[in-house]
Structure 1
Amino acid sequence: MANTALSEVLNDLIRINNDRIEGYEKAITEADDIDVDLKAIFSKMENDSRDNVRELTAAVQDLGEAPAEGTTVSGMIYRTWMDVRTAFSSKERQSILELCEFGEDAAQKAYNEALASDAEMSTTIRQMITGQQQSLRTSHDVIKKYLDLHKVL
Structure 2
Amino acid sequence: MEHLQKTAAVVEDLVKINNDRIEGYNKARLQTDDLDLKELFDDMVADSKRFTTELNKYLRSLGEERERDSTFAGKLYRTWMDVKVSFGGADRRSILATCEYGEDAAQKSYNTALDHDFLPPEVRQMISEQRMRLKSSHDKIRYLRDLETVNKG
TM-score, with structure 2 as normaliser: 0.94
Aligned equivalents of 1:86, 1:93: Cα separation in 2: 11
Aligned partner of residue 12 in structure 2, secondary structure: helix
Letter of the 2:7 partner, please give it: L
Which deviations, in whole Å up to 9, do the C-alpha atoms of 1:36-60 show, x marking residues without a partner? 0000000000100000000000011
Identity of aligned residues (%): 46
Q: Deviations over 1:3-48 (max 9, x none)?
A: 111000000000000000000000000112xx00000000000100
Match runs of 1:138-149 below 5 Å = 138-149=136-147
Aligned to 2:21: 20
Equivalents in 1 of 2:72, 2:41: separation in Å? 22
Matches within 5 A, 1:1-153: 1-32=2-33, 35-89=34-88, 92-118=91-117, 120-153=118-151
Q: Secondary structure at the match of 2:67?
A: coil
State the distance in 1 between where 2:12 and 2:141 align. Answer: 25
Distance across 1 between alignment mates of 2:81 and 2:63: 36
Q: State the TM-score, normalized to the length of structure 1.
A: 0.94
1:122 CA drift (Å) = 2.0
Alignment RMSD, CA only? 1.1
2-structure distance, mates of 1:75, 1:92: 21
Question: 1:68 Cα shift?
Answer: 1.8
Please list every run of 5 or more consecutive structure 1 residues that lacks an aligned counterpart in the other structure: none
Letter in 2 for 1:127: Q
**Greater than 3 Å deviation, 4+ residue runs:** none
**How many residues get paired?**
150
One-letter code aligned to 1:122: P
Alpha-carbon shift at residue 121 of structure 1 (Å): 2.1
